[in-house]
Structure 1
């Protein structure tokens, strides 16, 4: 069997970078990759010095998708189901992490590769890169969140076409549709821009990205009125936080705010009204 794609982790100040390390095979995502990714996210959640994370792929692709070589060797659908569970669990860790994740889509992001990018909070894409969930061409559907996250980020009609036909978007088109937050002219510029976004996030108040993620997640299925109730509670809690008080003082005093250089361990705050109780 071909070598599994690993995940490397490096820290540079308050920004960490996760890299899919399988460049020769365009960074396919297999079971070992999912385990490594989940372990890295848990490690970063526990590191109070980390404030933002960039996710990218080694070489000329972000990720060509799920590891077909591994899947081809599965003995039955039960093995495939276990793989999909591991994959979706790893992506849920990214989605639920208090840290902001920026996908640096430096090349093709196909199938599971695009699903990984969709699980991140922000996306920087190479304009000529290809993005797709091509599973329909194999007679199946995306299984790692593609049918759920894609229609929430792209226009529903476009998402439906991508899922039903396996059609491809360029990075430039993805940016036009709002699926990407930044557009880069080269793979190298993707990393530069993603790093700049991460640095900006890391330099702000640590609770803002965490509360944004939890608030958007917990109110996704609520009415606007019920969502505003949660929003008021979150805004009030942030106003009473040390960073909130510093931000207001700095604005009144016409100076740059000096937010805390580190976030709380695991990035959570027991006073957060939008953060549900979680079991170990």
Structure 2
């Protein structure tokens, strides 16, 4: 079995590890296919409450595999690759369970776009994050030009995209792109701890919260608040809501089942 992507399940978490360290975890067609299948499998596994995405070796990911891209002989082949990559990242962004990217070394191009598709990001101090495609005469093609300005001040995102220059994890944290910083060698454990804190939540409420934030940002405020009202009204009828109130009264953690 291919090891371009490893999937480990433990304590309610699924840890997806890009596993091409000799290629700095460059994302090729095989990686895209494995990532897509893994996300579908994890999505349908009721024992998994949260997802962590990381990379093996000395970097999170160098981005799309330029060796494979250079082998394309037509724009159509490139369009097909970018389409499948974009679909995989959209699957991650729309994932019903919360996701955390654990970034070390660097996350460039398609690697950063992968991290941007996650809900939260933890980065090792000194790690670099960037979209260097401009230096190759192209632009990010898997959501970078759209997700980055939604997570950073637009002027900062423009500078990163139009110059191709990266920023370090410390600045990314200050700007809000990175949720938590980790000391060298500890990024995965910090990301897993953050993800584990999410698994304590009620699964239906977690999924609904993601939808409210992601979709509500594209709505007018009045429509978004109406969407919120309808969503929480549906959650009120769930068994998890009743369990949450009972647990609060009994001063214990809730035993949420996703029903």
TM-score bin (small chain): over 0.9
Q: Paired residue for 1:218? A: 215
Deviates more, 1:127-136 or 1:195-204: 195-204
DSSP-derived class of the 2:60 partner: strand
Tell me how large the CA RMSD over aligned residues is: 1.4
Match of 1:84 among 82, 85, 93: 82
8 Å Cα contact 1:26-1:59 kept in structure 2: yes
Cα distance in structure 2, aligned partners of 1:208 and 1:115: 26
Cα distance in structure 1, aligned partners of 2:252 and 2:14: 28
The CA deviation at 1:85 is 0.3
1:240-269 deviation digits (Å, cap 9, x = unpaired) = 211112112222343332222xx47xxxxx
DSSP-derived class of the 1:125 partner: strand
Unaligned runs of 5+ in 1: 265-280
1:254 and 2:251 correspond: yes
The CA deviation at 1:26 is 0.6
DSSP-derived class of the 2:186 partner: helix
TM-score, normalized by length of structure 1?
0.89
DSSP-derived class of the 1:180 partner: coil
DSSP-derived class of the 2:26 partner: coil
1:63-102 deviation digits (Å, cap 9, x = unpaired) = 0000000001100111100000010000011111101111
Alpha carbons of structure 1 residues 5 and 70: separation in structure 2 relative to 1, 3 Å: farther
Q: Paired residue for 2:180? A: 182
Equivalence map 1:28-39=2 (5 Å):
28-39=26-37
The CA deviation at 1:16 is 0.7
DSSP-derived class of the 2:202 partner: coil
Cα distance in structure 1, aligned partners of 2:115 and 2:183: 18
Equivalence map 1:127-146=2 (5 Å):
127-146=125-144
1:227 and 2:256 correspond: no
